[in-house]
Structure 1
């Protein structure tokens, strides 16, 4: 019997070929997530996904252009972007990172440290020499710094690390930074200030001091925070100088120090022999290091940070909104 059309089985449904689009979209999303959400570097992503860096870069560009990643600038942050632009223009900086005030010095310092640490994650490479010094503000960089293995990187002290009182000051940065980066540590085993000129000459003549200072002069990156010299800091400053010295320095108009060199608000080194007794990298050399990062916050540091910016040589500034506005408010417009 002849089969009618109605009794014939329906044709098999067409099965679409497996599309490569879905795999591509998944890869695009995975690369974008690793880069923007996990904060991983393009080299790390390429290695993890067995891609080359050029393809990772192309995928990130496609993610932005296709709308997989949408970058929005929060209007509430716009004043900070404008403030960063003012600081860059006024002081010939390569970059300025200004974080919002977070409702307290400790929280704001944490935000500054996270920003500084993440910047260093992208900046540092094996084989570099990095200089820094102790202190609460520099120590904050560990909020954002990732552990790494840079066996050919050197971390070096920019100023004397010991104290005449024999106290180990808190927030030791140099040694911890070297451990975090898997790098070598070059500690300046001398006080910031010698007791007199004779002791200064003896210390500067020691081979271990000379070698560390020679290495410091070859730094690729220097991270420093200017010191505030105010009476309220006596508890910390007593390990660096006597109460009499601090009182004399304040009477001479000293407002702060840059790697131990003490300045007044006009930018002049104060006329006190403590400036001749310091042991550390000279400021002229600091100004010629390729990347000089200054970090600081707080009203007591405004004057000395302004002095440091006016001296020049700083490439990157990391601070908070209140400090940045106070610095700019004290300067005449160009």
Structure 2
């Protein structure tokens, strides 16, 4: 790690946050960041000398601890990670993805089974996992995917990216579309040994990482024809505001349109809620409503989000 490099700067920020904001001892910071106590001391000295640390940490990657504490106090989640909203969604996404990757890498003990969904957000998280950061993980797909994706944001590409950065990884793909065309086909698929085995393995995950989806014509599920235009209209009329792993819910966190939900292939919401650490990532102010619903329903133990969403979720200005 060269002095002045982006990696060195990020290490300095994380050391300062853990030491000054979280109150960890230097030895505990060293353990979390997997470096020597001497190196942590040097990073903290540099942070003070450079002006990075004053009364608060001045850096885009610094977290909004005030909003985090309020979210944890109000909702049934064990932790919140709130980054400062940036001028563009792309810049905010970059910070949120890095924060989610950091959180995953700092878990102790390291998870042995990691469940992941797919899409741009989870792909960005996978890209930011460091080389050799995970040891002997089993990486499993949480929900069915889609074939007509232009970018490498499909489940297979995401799982391969994480596996390529891991030591002795194992993988488990879910060979099915996110939503199939009829309930009879769904019933047969769920009875298939490989599909059922992957879903049962996903239910045993130590950690689940997924993004929160908003109900919109721009949704990846709509763009990939997993959801038709008629179904989108029907979901709107049913009160759906977004989806969690392809399961569409209303503002109370209840599944709407049971017929459609019976055609959805993947881990169901009850089993998602039972996973010890479920990390939901939400970026984009339009996702405030569905984020609040996910928190209300207890569908995540850890929320990674931006300050605009956190402020709206904590306020009373949601439509």
- TM category, shorter: 0.7 to 0.9
Deviation per CA, 1:238-269: give whole Å up to 9, x if none. 42121111121112221101111111223332
Structure 2 match to 1:322: 308
Structure 2 match to 1:167: 148
Structure 2 match to 1:93: 77
Distance 1:180 1:75 in 2: 30
User: Which among 281, 293, 298 is matched to residue 284 of structure 2?
Assistant: 298
User: TM-score, normalization: structure 1?
Assistant: 0.75
Distance 1:179 1:251 in 2: 43
Distance 2:132 2:220 in 1: 37
C-alpha spacing 1:111/1:197, structure 2 compared with 1 (3 Å):
same
Secondary structure of the residue that 1:188 maps to in structure 2?
coil
Question: Contact conserved, 1:256 with 1:262, CA < 8 A, in 2?
Answer: yes
Structure 2 match to 1:111: 95
Distance 1:75 1:176 in 2: 32
Distance 2:215 2:283 in 1: 14
1:211 matches 2:193: no
User: TM-score, normalization: structure 2?
Assistant: 0.78
> RMSD in angstroms over aligned alpha carbons?
3.3
Secondary structure of the residue that 1:231 maps to in structure 2?
coil
C-alpha spacing 1:34/1:313, structure 2 compared with 1 (3 Å):
same
Question: Contact conserved, 2:252 with 2:297, CA < 8 A, in 1?
Answer: no
C-alpha spacing 1:246/1:38, structure 2 compared with 1 (3 Å):
closer
Q: Which runs of 5+ in 2 are unaligned?
A: 1-7, 16-28
Deviation per CA, 1:256-293: give whole Å up to 9, x if none. 01111111223332134111111111211111211111
Structure 1 match to 2:137: 153
Distance 2:314 2:274 in 1: 24
User: Which among 251, 271, 274 is matched to residue 260 of structure 2?
Assistant: 274
- The structure whose Rg is larger is 1
Q: Which runs of 5+ in 1 are unaligned?
A: 1-32, 49-55
User: Which among 270, 274, 283 is matched to residue 269 of structure 2?
Assistant: 283
The 5 A counterparts of 1:25-174 are 36-37=11-12, 42=30, 56-57=36-37, 59=38, 70=48, 71-74=53-56, 80-123=64-107, 128-142=112-126, 144-148=128-132, 150=134, 152-161=136-145, 163=146, 166-168=147-149, 170=151, 171-172=153-154, 173-174=158-159
Question: Contact conserved, 1:160 with 1:192, CA < 8 A, in 2?
Answer: yes
Distance 2:32 2:250 in 1: 47
User: Which among 234, 237, 243 is matched to residue 257 of structure 1?
Assistant: 243
C-alpha spacing 1:124/1:194, structure 2 compared with 1 (3 Å):
farther
1:180 matches 2:165: yes
Distance 1:190 1:206 in 2: 11
Question: Contact conserved, 2:144 with 2:178, CA < 8 A, in 1?
Answer: yes
1:240 matches 2:221: no
Secondary structure of the residue that 1:96 maps to in structure 2?
strand
